[in-house]
Each structure stands twice: as structure tokens, then as C-alpha cells.
Chain A
Amino acid sequence: MSVQKPVLIREDGRRIDGRRPDEMRPVKIAVGVLKNANGSALVEYGETRVLAAVYGPREALPKYMSMPMRATLRVRYHMAPFSTDERKSPAPTRREIELSKVIREALEAVVFSSLFPRTGIDVFIEVLQADGGTRTAGLTAASIALADAGIPLKDIVIGVAIGKVNGVLVLDINGLEDEYGEADMPVGIAPNLGEIVLFQLNGVLTREEVKVGLDMAFKAAENIYKIAKEALYNKYIKVLEEVKFE
């Protein structure tokens, strides 16, 4: 007997964790969690937990990496060895190198990098706990950390994944759905501009499904964006309260 595929869509139409197909996992966002970084954010999509730290703009090192007209964005997406149930080797894998690249390109679309020529902006994305949707949570965390660092941005980027499990389009797939599902479509959205800055697709979706999926993604991004805005606002409100108590 081999390992059985779990029931991803239950008889009542709900998913393995009890969500409706178009329901997000609970999202939590904290801003300014690291003191040494210029900007930082901790983003949780359910059990997925990602920390992002931004340093810079600072001197781009090594020197040859600096560009005369704009800032170099360096992004490292990394999964901590303890983030998965089986230890993950801390060395960067092919997958992590690819994700670092696509997240960098997504962020380059919103950062006004020409303001800081010859400098470097470093973004570190550390997955603390992985349960599906780490690149989307990482993208959200990175853009909020950039905003927290005071780097001029066109918009905050919200990442959200659409999946297909047992023929049903679902929002924000978790680890099991990712493993056993038929398709995974992570999308990075700039909600105010209505632009897509990251788009990937694993598996097969029909044209119609992509359209419906994107609609779901935009709706979800809107909600996550509200939480992100609230979190950025709260950082400064909290400062006011702390001062009052002194």
C-alpha cells in the first residue's frame, strides 16, 4: 500500500483546511520587527511565515555590481533549514535562485531606483515556516519592508497564489494543496495601479480559468493590501502610544 492522496475538496465543497475555495488563510502583518534593518516586515499567510529585511540604499558591494544610472536591487529568497518538516539544506537551491530572480524583477517594477544611482538595495527574504505560498508571502513582506525602509515605491506589491485542486479553482493554496493539486499560479499585484508584476504558472489552466483566477487574485490582493496599509500605519501609531506611557 502506498501513501494515499488526501481528500482536497470535501463533499460539502470546502477544502482540506475547511476554507471555501475563494477564502484566504488568515493574514497577519507586522512592520518594523528588526532593529538593525532599515525596514522589515513579518508576513503570515496561515501557517506560512516569512520575514523580510531591507538594507539600504547603501554602497553597492562588490563595486562592479553598482550601476551608474540606478540602484542595484539584490534579492535573496531563502528557506530556513527548519522551515520545512524535513530539514532543508541551507545552501541556495535552483528553486531559491529562481524565486530570488522573479521577486527581484517584480520589485524592480515598483521601486524608483533611479533616485539612488550607484547604490545597492538589499532585500533578504527568509522563510521561517513553509506551508505553501512562500514566494507570494515573501513578495508581500519584501515590498512592505521596502516601504518601511522609506524607499520610494510606486505601490506596495501583494503576492497571492491561485491553485487548482480536484478541478476546483482555489485561492491561496496551502502546502498540501500545492503538493497534490493540479496547478499553482502565483501572482504579484500592485493594487493601486492595477498592475501585475509577477506571474507564474505551474501546471495547466484553461484560458477561462486564468481569467477567473486573476479576478480572485485581484479581489484577495485588495484585502491583503488593507491589512498591509493598516500595519504600516500602526507602526507609527504604536510609537505615539509608547511615548505617552513614558
Chain B
Amino acid sequence: MTDLATHVFTGLGVLFFLAGSVGFLRFPDIFSRLHALTKADNLGLGFIALGVAFQAGSWRQVALLALIWALVLLAAGTVSQLVARHALRERDGR
């Protein structure tokens, strides 16, 4: 049962990473590509962490997985703003 949950959730996670990568390759400009990377990869990692959590042996491992996801979420939200801001400045020649 827990193995099934792991398969389902990590599978979903891989699908979102795949979709994010496809968006990164197909989308026309840097800003649209950032949408794909931040939003899809956030879900990809979230689902993979959720799937792996079903294999965890202790509460601490679950908390560590949650912490990893939360930190990546924080980093993705911050870094995408910085990249977008820089790209906009460069485009506007400032």
C-alpha cells in the first residue's frame, strides 16, 4: 500500500518535472520559461517528496523531506523574481 503511494506520487512528480522541462524548451521567452520552471518543478519536487515520505522510517525523515521542499519553494520563489528582474532590466537597457 505504501509502495503503491510512492509509485503514484513519485510518478506524478516526474511528470511535472517533465512538463516543466518541456515548457522550458518550448516557451518563447525567458519570462514564460520561468513560469514553467518555478511552478511545474515546485509541484514535481513536492510530489516526489510526498512519495518518498511514504518510505520514511521516522517522523524526522518526514520533517526533513518537508523542510527540503519548503526551502526549495522559498528559493524558487526568490530566484525566479531575481532572474525576471534582471532580464527585464537588461531588456529595457537599464
Does chain A bind chain B?
no
Hey, which bits of chain B sit against chain A, CB under 8 A? none
Hey, which bits of chain A sit against chain B, CB under 8 A? none
